[in-house]
Amino acid sequence: MATKAESLYCPPKKKLRRTFSEPQTTDFSQNVVNSFVSRLISDYHTQNLEDCMVIWLDANAEKKSKKFERTKTRIRRIVNYLKPFNDVDECIAYITDVKDEKIFFIVSGKYGKRILPVIHNLSNIESIYIFCFDKDKHAVWSEEFNKVRGVFVEREPLLAQLTKDISDYVDRTPITVIQGSTTQDPKNEPGKCMWFHILLYVLLRLPDSPTVKTDMINECLNQYRDDKVEQRKIEEFRNQYKCEDAICWYTRDCFVYRLINKALRTENIDRIFLYRFFIIDLYKQLKRLHDEQFPDKQTLTLYRGQNMHAVELEKIQNNINGYISVNTFLSTTSSSIVASDFSGNLAVHTDSTLTSVIFQINVDSTINKTKPFARISEVSVNSDEDEYLFTMGTIFKILSVEKFTGEVWYVTLEMVSEEHEPLKNLFDDYKASIGEESSLLLLGEVLSLDLNEHKKARHYYELLVRELPEDDINVGYAYCRIAVMLVDEENYEEALSLFKKAKKIYSKALTEETQYYLAEFYIDLAGLRQSQNNYKAALKLQKKALKIRKTLYAEDNIALANTYMALASSYHELDKFSIAVKYYKKSDEINQQKLPENHPTIAFTLRSLGDVYNDQSNYNEARKYYEKALHILLESMPTDSVCIAECYLSLGRLCLNLDENQTALQNFKKGLAILLKSRSENDTNLVKVYTHIGSVYKKLKYPNTALKYYKKALNIIGEQSKPYLNHLLEAYCHLLYFYFDQDKYSQTLKYCRKILQLRKFCENKCMNFFAQAYDMLGHVYCIQKKGKLGLMYCKRALKVRKFIYPNNHPSIADSYNNMAYASAELKKHNLRLNYALKALTIHLNPSTDFKNEREIVDTYREISNAHIALGNYSSAVQTFTDAKEYTNTAEQLVNNYLNIGNVYFYYLENYETAKDYYEKALKVCKDASLENWFSETYRAVGESYQRIGDGSLAMKHYRIALSYGDAADNSKYILAEIHHSIGTFYEKTGKFSKALKRYHKASSYGVENEFFLEELYHDMASIYEKMNSFDEAIKYHRKVVNIHESHSDECEDPGYAAQSYIQMGVLASTVLKNDTQCIKYTEKALSIYEHLGNVAIADMQHLFIAYNNLGDTYMRLDEYGIALEHLETARKLATEIGLHDEHPQVIEIKTQITSIREQTKGEPADFSDF
């Protein structure tokens, strides 16, 4: 039951960016901005908005004594946010929850000894201070903790050290290091490289607001509501601030610097938006000063001293010729002495994770107009430092890193512009994608598409809907953006409702501008239909979008590339693979022209092409495209990017299809490791990853591990989880296949029923899971000998698939093949043949876009087996021969030759022709080095030589077959077969002891194949008869008939059981002298042959023995009439099998017939008619 290879993750539905040529709407209601800001302020009443905090743990820390309150007030003047604790466990819990702030930790000696081993190595712990009564006592044990800045018994030295350390930390500039060989795509990893470039670009284009200053002031007053000193500064800011004072306020030790830096360091878009007016003023003042100070080109050498973590310095060292992007406004000086002072004296610093660094920055004043810098000494509160300030997001190239003196490192940088390669394409591509104008709408786009902040983006769009006029075209766009997010959450009903509202708005505004939105609307609505598995509806919508966009854009516009991608994905899902490839390649052609060569969008297109080829079983092409995509992503994206994870997972599925199970497992685990960095272990997006890993372990024969991963997937979703029914059904399907492969049919049926119980909750997109459940019910019931039920459920699966798919879809062929299987179990081979031929007709239909050679070959095999069951042996050979055209692997070709050889060997008894085909199979094995097939093919060739009569060549091939037995896929069965074949050779040459030894060796492998054991035990009984060991002979004959009686319904060749019954009858008559048992066993044999209908010549020989034996027995019992009937039948069979009249047995039968007639006073026997 083949299923199509699926994409493990549906990519986020990225909207098409508008280009410069598109009209933009900027008349947004300021109420939208105001509403947003008021909501932000209400969210921050209890948050720490500064960059760091002090936590104080002391038994008396929460007491209201004057001494402690004075100390708390002094600390809050250094850093506003102080959190006191008097309970160790509560303190630990709080510390471990802190994410964005650095903690300066004051602790008493008593509690310090207990808590430091627990919290010391946490990354958010910056410095620790022991505040106690006994300095000598606590100085000893605290020496082993390198973050301890000192042991203090007086308040003033403690506060002095705390002030210095916090100042040093605040001066430590956060940076992003960009590898020299790579550029990061801003639309995929802005937090790694381009975040501030995107942000500044958007902020400078947002509309002005008369309330924005008030919003910031109100929020600051709330933050410092317990700090009278800082509140006075805020009021001063309210009354005296002017835009030309921005630098002065930023360089002042007050709330402005702390809050702005915290927002920039933590990249918190909400807070940055709240402070945007000041950030814009600061930028504009720098720009004015830059233009005034550098009218002509100047070269400067500037310096910055700071301490930084050794890990950050190591990143810089490892990326010479790479780049540094600064995440805040960067303060520098023209004085290397001042910079050296700021680098700190870390020779006496106890924290070994910090190091002193001096940056030398070489600057060309004309190089970067969009990221201005200026000398700010005249407007700064620190006029004696000859200070220069750089705009946030400025990029520097790393030229060198050297050890300077002692503990000080010297890093040389060079400022670069957006025109610097390879950054130019990055900036141009981004600017082209967002346009020249800006709006609150654009900020929503940046949040959702660039920053992956989907919740915040949705918040923005919902504000738009509430605040703008209901028929505003931007409200329609907001509805679409929210709807896309709802589709990702599988909330299709609500998403469709919003799409309808958007369409209503667009229908009222029939302008050229609307056409841009309408095309985007069709693409987004198509995404919903794709998620519902309604690909035909999606295709119609995408074609509408393409028609509109072709009137709006040139043929090589990125908008058309995105539309072609959407069309390709629908054609892919409809199995129109050649059309899907065509559109993917059209998209790729445009992307290659318009985007940087290592752009992730190109990688996504290549991966999609790989998915198509994977589904076509064109694994070489699939691997080529996957590897190209992975190469691009590793060059252009951070190693923990989700895009890279998806590529690893695609490669994993490919390797799983190729049975490269260890490689598949490696790729799946690489992908999973990346995904777990950004998702919890219970994220629903991990369901498919866990099920695929389970499938690998199942193939590797680790069922317990496989089951663990399948259940891990199931546990994520939870039973009856309606929002994730698709995931739940898929997990159930994996489990039912798992239990089926383990022969645990009750569990298989359990999960089939679980799937079918969910029908009432599901839409069309889930229907294929129900078809698979019906198919599996059919298989299980056939195995349990309930063939009618089995066929009934296979027919139900067909009915479901005909509802989902067109009549020539490969899934319909799957159902017909399953029905053929069920018909075979019912021994209705004409019906079996009919169903298999229907499946083949679909597979070979010229209108079928993709022909799955593997399934075509399997269908041909089913047709051949039906012909064999019907006795149409020449048709079986012809069908196997026709299948050869579709064999595309060496293993398939070997199997094909072996199948043809088997028909000639076992059914047509043409051993020469059988040998020719077996030798063809052997040649293919040798040419392709298929060692796992050597033993089977050498054994087959050996058997054909044995039947031809060339014993030496037979034994030669048997011995070679044995030498390769362990390499076979089913080694125990193959080795048992080889020993059995050698045994038959020894038996035919009269070497009964050797033959028996081989038969027992074959039996020792514990093979559970009943058909093989029937033949083996029958041959062992035959040997024991020839050796006159009649008890052993009867014992093994009984084994044969016991197998037959236990598996009579599934026995394809009951001849061995019939022969054993005949021989048991003979032995009962001749050895045991028990005529009653003789008659009983022989009549059972005759019953088997009667059920078979037509019998072969070989079986007629056994029938001759049976009737002859019955005739003798009934004569002894004086039952002459019955005896005469059986003897006359034996005489006729003698003629059929070619015994001449002078044959001793024939003479004996004639004599017996004459004797009976004379004794019954009848006429003398007349044998003329014989």
Query: In this structure, is residue 464 part of a structural domain?
Result: no
Query: Which of 762, 794, 820 is the endpoint of a domain?
Result: 762
Label residue 38 by pLDDT band (50, 70, 90): very low
In angstroms, rounded to a whole number, what is the distance separating the alpha carbons of residues 273 and 257? 16
pLDDT at 940: 94
Say if residue 228 is in the same domain as residue 107: no
The structure tokens listed for 363 are 């600057």
Q: What is the pTM of this model?
A: 0.59
C-beta separation of 526 from 520 below 8 A: no
Say if residue 201 is in the same domain as residue 157: no
The structure tokens listed for 1083 are 């009549």
Query: In this structure, is residue 118 part of a structural domain?
Result: yes
Q: Is the pLDDT of residue 1044 over 70?
A: yes
Q: Is the pLDDT of residue 398 over 50?
A: yes
**Model confidence over 327-339: pLDDT tens digits?**
789 999 998 888 8
Say if residue 150 is in the same domain as residue 181: no
Label residue 443 by pLDDT band (50, 70, 90): low
Query: In this structure, is residue 264 part of a structural domain?
Result: yes
**Model confidence over 533-575: pLDDT tens digits?**
788 899 999 999 999 999 999 999 988 999 999 999 999 988 8
Sign of the CA dihedral with 193 first, then 199, 200, and 205 last: positive
Query: In this structure, is residue 825 part of a structural domain?
Result: no
Over residues 937-951, the mean pLDDT reads 93
pLDDT at 1051: 53
In angstroms, rounded to a whole number, what is the distance separating the alpha carbons of residues 77 and 96? 25
Q: Is the pLDDT of residue 967 over 60?
A: yes
Over residues 1120-1144, the mean pLDDT reads 88
User: Long-range contacts: 132-140, Cβ < 8 Å, 24+?
Assistant: 132/108, 133/109, 134/109, 137/109, 138/109, 138/112, 138/113
Distance of CA 279 to the CA centre of its chain: 43
Say if residue 201 is in the same domain as residue 121: no
Label residue 39 by pLDDT band (50, 70, 90): very low
C-beta separation of 497 from 519 below 8 A: no
The number of C-alpha atoms within 13 Å of 512 and in the hemisphere containing its C-beta is: 7
Q: Is the pLDDT of residue 33 over 50?
A: no
Burial of 476 by CB count in 10 Å (0-12 exposed, 13-18 middle, 19+ buried)? buried
In angstroms, rounded to a whole number, what is the distance separating the alpha carbons of residues 132 and 369? 54
Query: In this structure, is residue 726 part of a structural domain?
Result: yes
Query: Which of 429, 451, 468 is the endpoint of a domain?
Result: 429
In angstroms, rounded to a whole number, what is the distance separating the alpha carbons of residues 681 and 617? 32
Please tell me whether residue 298 adopts helix, strand or coil conformation. coil
pLDDT at 259: 85
Give percent of the chain with pLDDT exceeding 90. 35
Give the number of domains in the chain. 3
Say if residue 81 is in the same domain as residue 208: no
Question: Per-residue DSSP letters for 300-328?
Answer: EEEEEEEEEEHHHHHHHHTTTT-EEEESS
Q: Is the pLDDT of residue 197 over 80?
A: no
In angstroms, rounded to a whole number, what is the distance separating the alpha carbons of residues 1043 and 1011? 9
Q: Is the pLDDT of residue 576 over 50?
A: yes
Domain span at residue 732 reads 661-762
In angstroms, rounded to a whole number, what is the distance separating the alpha carbons of residues 1161 and 1168? 20
**Model confidence over 674-685: pLDDT tens digits?**
888 766 665 666
Structure-derived torsion over alpha carbons of residues 316, 318, 321, 327, reported in degrees to the nearest 10: -30
Residues 6+ apart with CB under 8 A from 900: 877, 880, 881, 917
CATH number at residue 102: 3.40.50
Say if residue 120 is in the same domain as residue 214: no
Give the residue with greater pLDDT, 656 vs 51.
656
Say if residue 283 is in the same domain as residue 373: yes
Say if residue 162 is in the same domain as residue 184: no
Say if residue 203 is in the same domain as residue 125: no
What does the mean pLDDT of the chain come to? 82
Label residue 185 by pLDDT band (50, 70, 90): very low
Say if residue 255 is in the same domain as residue 353: yes
Beta strands 408-416 and 299-309, pairing class: unpaired
Q: Is the pLDDT of residue 914 over 50?
A: yes
The number of C-alpha atoms within 13 Å of 123 and in the hemisphere containing its C-beta is: 4
Query: In this structure, is residue 233 part of a structural domain?
Result: yes
C-beta separation of 1103 from 1082 below 8 A: no
Query: In this structure, is residue 372 part of a structural domain?
Result: yes
**Model confidence over 781-816: pLDDT tens digits?**
988 888 899 999 999 999 988 887 888 888 899 999
Over residues 53-80, the mean pLDDT reads 81
Q: Is the pLDDT of residue 25 over 50?
A: no
Q: What angle do CA 766, 771, 775 make, to 5 degrees?
A: 150
Label residue 20 by pLDDT band (50, 70, 90): very low
**Model confidence over 224-251: pLDDT tens digits?**
887 788 889 999 999 999 999 999 999 9
Please tell me whether residue 933 adopts helix, strand or coil conformation. helix
The structure tokens listed for 509 are 């505004």
| Single-letter amino acid code for the residue at 317 | Q
pLDDT at 374: 94
Please tell me whether residue 771 adopts helix, strand or coil conformation. helix
What strands lie across the sheet with 102-107, from one edge to the other?
A: 82-85, 52-57, 102-107, 125-131, 148-152
Label residue 422 by pLDDT band (50, 70, 90): low
Over residues 187-196, the mean pLDDT reads 47
Say if residue 262 is in the same domain as residue 398: yes
Phi and psi at residue 1007, in whole multiples of 5°? -65, 140
pLDDT at 541: 96
Provide the residue count of the chain.
1170
Q: Is the pLDDT of residue 907 over 50?
A: yes
C-beta separation of 1164 from 1154 below 8 A: yes
Query: Which of 170, 201, 223 is the endpoint of a domain?
Result: 170
User: Long-range contacts: 1135-1144, Cβ < 8 Å, 24+?
Assistant: 1135/1170, 1136/1097, 1136/1100, 1137/1097, 1137/1100, 1137/1101, 1137/1104, 1139/1104
Range among 74-78, 451-455, 590-594, 633-637 rated most confident: 590-594
Say if residue 228 is in the same domain as residue 97: no
Question: Per-residue DSSP letters for 236-285?
Answer: HHHHH--GGGHHHHHHSSSHHHHHHHHHHHTT-HHHHHHTHHHHHHHHHH
**Model confidence over 254-305: pLDDT tens digits?**
888 888 887 887 777 677 878 888 999 999 999 999 999 998 888 999 999 8
**Model confidence over 829-873: pLDDT tens digits?**
999 999 999 999 998 887 766 677 888 999 999 999 999 999 999
Beta strands 323-326 and 102-107, pairing class: unpaired
**Of 229, 32, 54, the residue nearest 129 (C-alpha):** 54
The structure tokens listed for 443 are 């900020």
**Model confidence over 993-1033: pLDDT tens digits?**
999 999 999 888 887 778 888 889 999 999 999 999 999 99
CATH number at residue 188: 3.90.176.10
**Model confidence over 698-712: pLDDT tens digits?**
888 888 888 888 888
Range among 98-102, 903-907, 1002-1006 rated most confident: 903-907
Phi and psi at residue 364, in whole multiples of 5°? -105, 115
Q: Is the pLDDT of residue 399 over 90?
A: yes
Q: Is the pLDDT of residue 1116 over 50?
A: yes
CATH number at residue 707: 1.25.40.10
Label residue 424 by pLDDT band (50, 70, 90): low
Q: Is the pLDDT of residue 353 over 80?
A: no
Query: In this structure, is residue 823 part of a structural domain?
Result: no
Burial of 1020 by CB count in 10 Å (0-12 exposed, 13-18 middle, 19+ buried)? buried
- Helices assigned H by DSSP within 577-618: 577-594, 600-615
